[in-house]
Amino acid sequence: MGQHFISSLLICMFFTLIPASLSSSDDRRTYIIHMDKSKMPAPFSTHHSWYASTLTSLSSPDDIPPIHLYTYNHAMDGFSAVLSRSHLEQLEKMPGHLATNEETFGQLHTTHTPKFLGLDRQTGLWPVSGFGDDMIIGIVDTGIWPESESFNDDGMPPVPARWRGTCETGTAFNSSNCNKKLIGARSFSKGMKQAGLNISTTDDYDSPRDYLGHGTHTSSTAAGSAAPFASHFGYANGTAKGMAPKARLAMYKVLFFNYTSDAAATDTLAGIDQAIEDGVDLLSLSLGFYTTPFYSDPIAVGTFAAIERGIFVACSAGNRGPHGYTILNGAPWITTVGAGTIDRNLSARVTLGDGEIQVVGKSVYPQNLLVDRVPIYFGHGNRSKEICNSYTLDPNDVKGKYIFCDFNDEISVFQQLFEMYRTGAAGAIFSSDSGQFLQVEVFDMPFVTVNPWDGELVKNYLIKSKNPTISIKFQVTLLGTKPAPQVADFSSRGPVLHAPWTLKPDILAPGVDVLGAWTPNRASAPIGDNFLLTDYALVSGTSMASPHVVGIAALLKTAHKDWSPAAIRSAMMTTADIIDNANNPIIDIITGVAGTPLDFGGGHVNPNKATDPGLVYDIGVQDYINYMCALNYTTEQLQTITRRSNVSCEANLDLNYPSFIVILNNTNTTSYTFKRVLTSVVDANCTYHATVEAPSGMKVFVQPATIYFPRKYSKSTFNLTVEINLGLNPTSDYIGNYGFLTWYEDKGTHVVRSPLVSAFAA
């Protein structure tokens, strides 16, 4: 589930383009006007009426009056309007005017993840797949807010005739809330009610309507329609758009607000069951149960039935990283998704003094606060005060002031935050190497974290200046930052505790500060003791990664109707990126060094490459049954999953998976041979040869090293033998020791890569 699920819930203003026809001259522009509310004249009862009166008072030489757009109640003090140059000149001379910013427009993408993933309207997987048209994605989650712009059905064709679902009637929800985008919505709460949940006393809705925001967010990420001018209080501006923007959505609500946000296994299974009955093509579950054998895991059980019917299933890997063996949803028929960062930073720009030095740091403070040449406190000569350790600052010195806290690797940014709150400081600049780990909801005060190198610039300026001042511009969004992606700190790592013989997670996808649709009725972004509301929110978690993958799978399934769920997963894994945008191996954000397949599986998903993988590793239902037989499940346990009274199987832990994991024991030497079958998915004969990148201490042999495919869907078998000599003192150093097996097409362009990793059994 989303890492912060969801303690602070979020509503923002709708942004509207002013049609060009309303403008009679080229000098009319849209502006954001900052006003000083303390200067509001006494006759006005509200600042809105003051702004309206101000606009009315402006003379219009061209007889076209100003157009008021929005009054901002929390995100900033002021309003926006369409003004001529004459209007603007008059307004800037009026009492109370602080500053004017001309309107800017964000890039037209999912608040950035589609572009980061290479999706383009003109070329590649989006147009090839018709943007996922005809696919139906089932989301098992907290419900949905149907009025969100992300679920508008403009331009959508009729609902597929095969659809058997419906929109149920319940609290604040009925069939009219569905349309050609949101084609089904149901809720399941009997299990929670039996456990003592009284929905009527929790403020949640006894219906598919979302109270927590989580399901609305995941749904919009997977298949949201284009929603222009979306942002989180000015951060991450752009057009919010799902991975498969023409796909249909069906919501199955199984989580209700109960202070722990639990989902009953009975309700979860009921939701999966109904989704299968309704005819979904794909399922995404951004929730998980504690790791248990598959036969007692409701998600593993329910999704096995889905896979049998050709339904692709993606699930979040869990937010218990960075430690190993923390993977949830690790059944081999589930595509398990870890979370990575994207190349976008949410920032504030700090200007020192007269502007001779500027630094940029992380901040998601949700108000465009005017911080201009304000004094800043720094405890010169007292190291404990300089680093703002607990109870080192005197409130008499810093109350109402901005403070600077120097870097110290033994002091966390949270201790510095405590000092800011305790002393009543107005805001802060923190020099810290952990600012990147702070979640959105932490920024309830106007503070900025800068890295230690920039912190040195700030400190040197403060030491040398007699009367140091700073200016801060919040709501800065930087694109193209490097390195990205990185493996998120919270993303759960493999192997799977109860069944480590398949590598998990399978793949990495965006899961940090993802902008998606939100419920507009709940207190969200904090400012001190107050909360703002929003229609779009930034949320982090593997919950956000799973819907990215299910949306991409919908595109692939549209482009390749005959591909199985395993083939779709294989295509994503074998074409995934293992190099970041700085042309280096993808790093673990915690350690700052190269991650391993236990962190990111096959790599970071690359949708356009996945549409043409060349070869796939396919897996049938019987193969999964053979795998479970090798786990020594009893007949009854197997029947729990398969629903078959007479299970026939040949025990085999070596699934035809697109990755390889060697589970080590305490003996000095380990040798294991994997058998794999590759299937060609191109309309031509082709030949591939194998190349192995083996880590130190690991010998790898491929037989045969060259394989030939005479036609599409022809198959070829190979063996991969791994020998590992642990020496006289086997250690955990071999956990995550990895390399790659890559098949290169002769006289072609296809490259099929699989990770090979070793780990000790838990």
Rg of the chain on CA atoms, in Å: 28
First to last CA, the chain: 24
Question: How, if at all, do strands 371-377 and 402-405 pair?
Answer: parallel
Cis status, amide bond into 322, omega within 30 of 0 = yes
Residue type at position 154: D
Write a three-state SS string for 343-361. CEEEEEEEEECCCCEEEEE
* Residue tagged active-site, from 112, 214, 217, 560: 214
CA dist., res. 292 & res. 299, Å (int): 11
What does DSSP assign to residue 657? -
Answer whether 301's CB lies under 8 Å from 295's CB: yes
Q: Could you tell me which of 336, 304, 270, 328 has the C-alpha nearest to residue 647?
A: 304
Is 141 a catalytic site residue?
Answer: yes
Q: How far apart are CA 386 and CA 419, in angstroms?
A: 11
Q: Which positions ≥6 away from 335 have C-beta within 8 Å?
A: 312, 313, 314, 315, 506, 507, 549, 553, 565, 568, 569, 572
Q: Write down the catalytic residue from 150, 231, 492, 543.
A: 543
Single out the catalytic residue among 77, 141, 206, 454.
141
Which H, E and C letters describe 109-167, residue by residue? CCCCHHHHCCCCCCCCHHHHCHHHCCCEEEEEECCECCCCHHHCCCCCCCCCCCCCCCE
Q: Which DSSP helix (H) or strand (E) runs through 386?
A: helix 383-387
Q: What is the distance between the alpha carbons of residues 613 and 458, in angstroms, rounded to a whole number? A: 50
Residue 57's identity, in one-letter code, is S
Residue 336 is encoded by which pair of tokens? 């398990």
Asked if 48 is an active-site residue, the reply is no
CA–CA dist 721, 734 (Å, integer): 17
Q: What's the DSSP call for residue 587?
A: E
- Cα→Cα distances 475→194, 456, 532, Å: 46, 24, 15
Residue 581 identity: N
Exposed / middle / buried, residue 41 (Cβ in 10 Å: 0-12, 13-18, 19+): exposed
d(CA 564, CA 586): 29
Instruction: Give the neighbor-by-neighbor strand order of the sheet with 698-703.
Output: 615-616, 669-680, 715-725, 698-703
Q: How far apart are CA 227 and CA 181, in angstroms?
A: 13
* Residue 26 appears among annotated catalytic residues: no
The upper half-sphere exposure of residue 724, i.e. CA atoms within 13 Å in the direction of its Cβ, equals 29
As a whole number of angstroms, the distance between CA 363 and CA 475 comes to 8
Amino acid occupying residue 280: V
- Which residues have a catalytic role annotated? 141, 214, 543
